[in-house]
């Protein structure tokens, strides 16, 4: 009888392990299939997602899916994001929460420029609801070495201490996203170090997927807006803060208005004159120009308020037209 009990006690963990192994492999198959499902979702949204053969490991405590050479391409075929490898970790008891570690260089490219990032560490956290929709996501990169390649110009190198991107779904189908950057050093004498950049954007109204011309028009006609909740940039003595609201016009061009407060400009001009990089005459002229703006206070410092508008396809700063603004989507070609 005692021997029988021993066998039963030994059999219980063996059976449990066997049952868990079956469950684990089913979950692993689901994770592998979810990569293909993600590619299908991108196709529905007008994008494409390509990758190498997916390998699943991590038995018995976690599911670890390795996706080699992932490439995400936008609808126009010119904008791409690629990486060497992405390793996705899934806890079997928390299937709606994914953690992805991005390994190797990350490249962003369009028709005219390319940005290459080599972070010391890069990871993403994604949480989905019961319907498989993204509830919130985050991307975190640290100790980044990068360079920008534009046309035939020499590559512009830079380093960055940290880059974070956050996104979450809001009530009524809206969305909110934030970008935070710390310690961006262009490694060029003519450009100051950007110690902090923070951008917080909210879209209160829902927009249909895929985001094509028809979806943008419906969103526009329903009163869709994008709110620049907060903008903050700090470079040397200069601090720039701002907020605004934007929409799209009949041609799907951005339109709207924002207000920016600039503090520390006079200190910057004084330093440039002391270093010999600016003549006293130029400093005086620029200070007179600053005096034309509305004087305000920002964080206990004197600042000037600079209005920025986008109207009829033109970006205007303090009433002066600066650059044209193109539609979010190219015009429809006649059939």
- Between CA 121 and CA 100 the distance in angstroms is 11
Compare 46 and 260 and report the one with higher pLDDT.
Answer: 260
Q: Which long-range contacts (CB under 8 A, 24 or more apart) does 291-298 make?
A: 292/318, 293/318, 296/261, 298/239, 298/241, 298/261, 298/263
- pLDDT for position 96: 80
Tokens found for residue 237: 């003595």
How high is the pLDDT of residue 157?
92
| Residue 299, pLDDT score | 73
How much is the pLDDT for 76?
A: 63
pLDDT at 137: 93
DSSP assignments along 26-82, one per residue: HHHHHHHHHHHHHHHHHHHTT-EEE----EEE-TTT-EEEEEES-EEE-TTSS-EEE
d(CA 234, CA 305): 16
What is residue 38's predicted lDDT score, i.e. its pLDDT? 73
In this structure, which long-range contacts are made by residues 45-48, counting pairs with CB atoms below 8 Å and at least 24 apart in sequence?
Answer: 45/209, 45/210, 45/211, 46/74, 46/75, 46/210, 46/211, 46/212, 47/72, 47/73, 47/74, 47/75, 48/72, 48/73
Give 202-260 as a DSSP string: EE-S---SS--HHHHHHHHHTT--EEEEEEEEEETTEEEEEEEEEEE-TTS-EEEEEEE
Q: Which pLDDT belongs to residue 184? A: 93
Burial 275-300 (b: 16+ CB within 10 A, else e): eeebeeeebeebeeebeebeeeebee
| 219, 249 contact by CB (below 8 A) | no
Q: Give the model confidence (pLDDT) of 36-94 as tens digits.
A: 777 777 777 677 888 888 888 876 777 788 889 988 887 666 788 899 999 988 877 77
Q: Which residues contact 229 (CB under 8 A, 6 or more apart)?
A: 176, 200, 201, 202, 243
pTM above 0.85, yes or no: no
For residue 273, report the phi and psi dihedrals to the nearest 5 degrees: -70, -45
Answer for the pair 178, 158: CB distance below 8 angstroms, yes or no.
Answer: no
State yes or no: pLDDT of 12 exceeds 70: no
> Rounded to whole angstroms, how far apart are CA atoms 117 and 140?
13
pLDDT 10s digits, 135-162? 899 999 999 999 998 888 888 899 999 9
- Which two three-digit tokens encode residue 295? 């004087």
- The pLDDT mean for the chain works out to 83
Q: Of 121-125, 130-134, 172-176, where does mean pLDDT reach its minimum? A: 130-134
pLDDT score for 218 = 95
Model pLDDT for residues 280-325, shown as the tens digit of each residue:
888 888 788 778 777 887 777 888 888 999 999 999 988 889 899 9
Query: Which pLDDT score is estimated for 37?
Result: 74
The answer to whether residue 247 scores a pLDDT higher than 60 is yes
Residue entry with tokens 């974070």: 164
Q: Does the pLDDT of residue 21 top 80, yes or no?
A: no
The 10s digit of each residue's pLDDT in 188-223 is 666 778 999 999 999 999 998 777 889 999 999 999
Burial 53-67 (b: 16+ CB within 10 A, else e): ebebebeeeebbbbb
Q: How confident is the model at residue 4 (pLDDT cuts 50, 70, 90)?
A: low
Evaluate if residue 24 carries a pLDDT over 60: no
């Amino acid at each position: 009888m005692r021997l029988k009990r021993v066998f039963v006690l030994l059999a219980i963990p063996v059976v449990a392990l066997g049952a868990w192994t079956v469950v684990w492999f089913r979950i692993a198959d689901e994770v592998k299939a979810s990569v293909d499902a993600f590619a299908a979702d991108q196709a529905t949204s007008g994008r494409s997602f390509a990758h190498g053969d997916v390998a699943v490991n991590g038995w018995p405590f976690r599911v670890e899916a390795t996706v080699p050479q992932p490439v995400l391409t936008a609808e126009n075929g010119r904008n791409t994001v690629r990486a060497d490898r992405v390793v996705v970790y899934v806890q079997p008891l928390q299937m709606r929460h994914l953690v992805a570690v991005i390994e190797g260089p990350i490249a962003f490219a369009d028709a005219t420029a390319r940005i290459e990032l080599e972070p010391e560490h890069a990871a993403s956290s994604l949480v989905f609801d019961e319907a498989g929709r993204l509830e919130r996501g985050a991307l975190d990169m640290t100790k980044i070495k990068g360079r920008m390649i534009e046309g035939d110009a020499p590559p512009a190198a830079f380093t960055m201490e940290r880059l974070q991107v956050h996104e979450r779904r809001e009530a009524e189908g809206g969305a909110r996203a934030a970008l935070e950057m710390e310690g961006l050093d262009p490694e060029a004498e003519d450009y100051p170090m950007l110690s902090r950049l923070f951008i917080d954007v909210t879209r209160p109204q829902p927009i249909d997927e895929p985001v094509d011309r028809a979806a943008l028009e419906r969103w526009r006609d329903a009163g869709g807006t994008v709110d620049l909740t907060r903008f903050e940039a700090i470079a040397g003595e200069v601090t720039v803060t701002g907020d605004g609201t934007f929409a799209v016009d009949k041609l799907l061009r951005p339109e709207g208005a924002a207000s920016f407060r600039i503090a520390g400009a006079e200190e910057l001009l004084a330093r440039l004159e002391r270093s010999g990089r600016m003549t006293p005459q130029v400093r005086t002229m620029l200070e007179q120009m600053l005096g034309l703006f509305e004087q305000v206070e920002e964080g206990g410092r004197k600042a000037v308020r600079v209005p920025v508008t986008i109207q009829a396809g033109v970006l205007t700063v303090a009433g002066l037209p600066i650059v044209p603004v193109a539609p979010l989507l190219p015009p429809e070609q006649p059939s």
